[in-house]
């Protein structure tokens, strides 16, 4: 398991998180972040895949709590443009990036599961390359800030500002009430660069093999796993689920393979 300095504190009990969430319903994202940091720092992290929502939150946090870890899951399948965008933002703003990745190399996964697992079993591919690395990275964290919005998908419509997972981890959704326009104007207003693929029709950007540009009239996330039932990578659904025998054996490094997981604090 990866160990980071913020993993040392025990979880805090919050007596009435739902009421607190309602209290924060009308608060601007910055106020929600201030509350989060005041309550949980240094045991709070932001996950950011370098989509615009994560970028806006990282920018806000820089003014509020600049040492907050920004966790990036490097699946090994990101677009080169995403990695270049990450590098530009981190070098420009000095964000406290923590990069994590799968324990198995792509070659090891291929040897174990065959080529192009993302085509044949994208749920397993996401488990190996996204969910398992995040599970390791945020073990012991008390607050997980993320950039989901209610209007992104039907599965996100009921998103509260605060939610608690069975493990006690509090998920903080400061942009739950925002629209894509709010995000766009935040980046514009603060002079933040846009993802290079955004103007080419990529309104939601994940791994390259599983993302295409959206067509006119399509939903913002229609380009993710297009043509499949899959609508979420699983990090927001499966994190508290027990690890199955197939996924734990898949996530276990093969003998002699190098671990890709790394931290760059």
Q: Which contiguous run of DSSP H or E holds residue 44?
A: strand 44-47
Question: Is residue 135 at the binding interface for ligand SF4, with CB under 6 A as the rule?
Answer: no
Of 34, 90, 96, which is closest to residue 67 (Cα–Cα)?
Answer: 96
- Calpha distance 110→241 (Å, rounded): 25
For residues 36 and 247, which CB has a smaller minimum distance to ligand SF4 in the complex? 247
Query: Of these, 52, 86, 130, 142, which contacts ligand SF4 (CB under 6 A)?
Result: 130
Residue count, binding to ligand SF4 (CB under 6 A)? 13
Q: Are strands 170-172 and 143-145 parallel, antiparallel or unpaired?
A: parallel
Beta-bridge partner residues of 71: 47, 98
Of 173, 107, 164, 122, which is closest to residue 141 (Cα–Cα)?
Answer: 164
CB 155 within 8 A of CB 231: yes
Query: Of these, 32, 48, 55, 126, which contacts ligand SF4 (CB under 6 A)?
Result: 126
Question: Is residue 125 at the binding interface for ligand SF4, with CB under 6 A as the rule?
Answer: yes
- By CB under 6 A, what part of segment 231-250 binds ligand SF4? 233
**Which residue in the block uniquely carries the two structure tokens 């894509």?**
180
Q: Is 233 a catalytic residue?
A: yes
- By CB under 6 A, what part of segment 54-113 binds ligand SF4? 75, 77
Binding mask 207-226 for ligand SF4 (x = CB under 6 A): x-xx----------------
Beta-bridge partner residues of 97: 70
Cα Rg, the chain, nearest whole Å: 18
Give min distance, CB of 82 to ligand SF4, in A: 11
Q: Kindly name the residue from 48, 125, 210, 233 that is annotated as catalytic.
A: 233
- Calpha distance 22→33 (Å, rounded): 15
Question: Is residue 261 at the binding interface for ligand SF4, with CB under 6 A as the rule?
Answer: no
CB 155 within 8 A of CB 230: no
For residues 61 and 210, which CB has a smaller minimum distance to ligand SF4 in the complex? 210
Binding mask 166-205 for ligand SF4 (x = CB under 6 A): ----------------------------------------
Interacting residue ranges for ligand SF4, rule: CB under 6 A: 75, 77, 118, 122, 125-126, 129-130, 206-207, 209-210, 233
Which residues are the active-site residues? 233
């Amino acid at each position: 398991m990866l160990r980071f300095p913020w993993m040392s504190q025990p979880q805090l009990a919050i007596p009435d998180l739902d009421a607190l969430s309602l209290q924060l319903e009308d608060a601007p994202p910055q106020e929600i972040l201030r509350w989060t940091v005041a309550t949980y720092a240094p045991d709070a992290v932001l996950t950011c895949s370098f989509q615009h929502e994560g970028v806006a939150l990282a920018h806000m946090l820089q003014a509020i709590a600049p040492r907050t870890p920004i966790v990036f899951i490097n699946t090994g399948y990101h677009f080169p443009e995403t990695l270049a965008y990450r590098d530009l933002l981190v070098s420009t703003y000095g964000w406290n990036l923590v990069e994590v990745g799968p324990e198995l190399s792509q070659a090891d996964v291929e040897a174990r599961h065959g080529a192009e697992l993302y085509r044949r079993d994208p749920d397993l591919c996401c488990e190996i390359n996204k969910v398992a690395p995040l599970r390791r990275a945020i073990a012991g964290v008390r607050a997980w800030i993320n950039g989901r919005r209610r209007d992104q998908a039907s599965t996100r419509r009921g998103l509260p500002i605060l939610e608690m997972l069975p493990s006690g981890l509090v998920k903080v959704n400061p942009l739950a009430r925002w629209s894509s326009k709010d995000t766009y104007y935040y980046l514009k207003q603060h002079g933040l660069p846009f993802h290079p693929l955004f103007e080419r029709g990529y309104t939601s950007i994940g791994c390259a093999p599983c993302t295409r540009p959206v067509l006119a009239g399509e939903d913002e996330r229609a380009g993710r796993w297009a043509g499949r039932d899959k609508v979420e990578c699983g990090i927001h659904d499966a994190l508290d689920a027990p690890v199955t025998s197939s996924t734990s054996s898949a996530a276990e490094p093969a003998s002699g393979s190098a671990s890709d997981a790394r931290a760059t604090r």
